[in-house]
Amino acid sequence: MTSRSHSYFHRALMAPRWVSDGSLSGIAELTSFLYLGRGSVASNRTLLLTKGITCIINATIEIPNFNWPHFEYVKVPLSDMPHTPISLYFDSVADKIHSIAKKHGATLVHCAAGVSRSASLCIAYLMKYHKVSLLEAYNWVKTRRPIIRPNIGFWRQLIEYERKLYGRCTVKFVHTPYGVFPDVYAKERRHLPYCCKNIWINPPEKPEQEPITRSEDAGKSRHRRRVKWIN
């Protein structure tokens, strides 16, 4: 990446743009040659051709490729679970996106919802080929597709990938009464007691429930239950 494009990348990170509803539910343009979307986008041939997409990376087990002519398909069999070794594909997927761009093509990376698996692969690509930190890559993708939520296992692997590439760690895990999760999620959630159930797309474990307690006044007693994600 040239110094000029690297400078542009950082300026864009500092000035997030408004994102339309279409980017929330369908497809988001991350760069002029990289798109992130949900599985249904891969079935819209007209949209793919309009965007100039020539390569489709399917980061799921459950969605088959359409195998239309004039498109190159890459299957990356991943489940959206914390224990899935997605890091095994970081380099190969990033290299593929880069090679397609060099041929003046464009790549769509999709999973089922365009939230966890495909987002993680795009973040890894940006780190490797755009020479940015994990935090910068995450912010870049989230600005263009606000619903992204890599699961906790993918975050651990992205953090390790950043350490491998640059010997540093710009995203860290934080401990709260409601669980352990990336600090970028903590910054986005101010009222954890009310929304912690929405933090994870896939929780690392089933929630462990503490014993139910009752107030001393039986007439006004209410059940209280606290849920903690176990790392």
Kindly compute the dihedral angle of the four CA atoms of residues 157, 159, 160, 165, in this order, to the nearest 10 degrees: 120
**Catalytic residue of the set 111, 169, 195, 196:** 111
Count of beta carbons in the 10 Å neighbourhood of residue 5:
12
Cβ distance 55 to 35 under 8 Å?
no
In the chain, which residue ranges form alpha helices assigned H by DSSP? 3-14, 21-25, 45-50, 90-102, 117-129, 134-144, 152-166, 183-188, 192-195
Cβ distance 226 to 179 under 8 Å?
no
Q: Give the span between the Cα atoms of 203 and 73, in whole angstroms.
A: 30
Provide φ and ψ at 3, rounded to 5°. -65, -30
HSE-CB for 120 with a 13 A CA cutoff: 34
Cβ distance 2 to 129 under 8 Å?
no
Cβ distance 159 to 171 under 8 Å?
yes
Residue 111 annotated in active site: yes
User: So which residues are the catalytic ones?
Assistant: 111
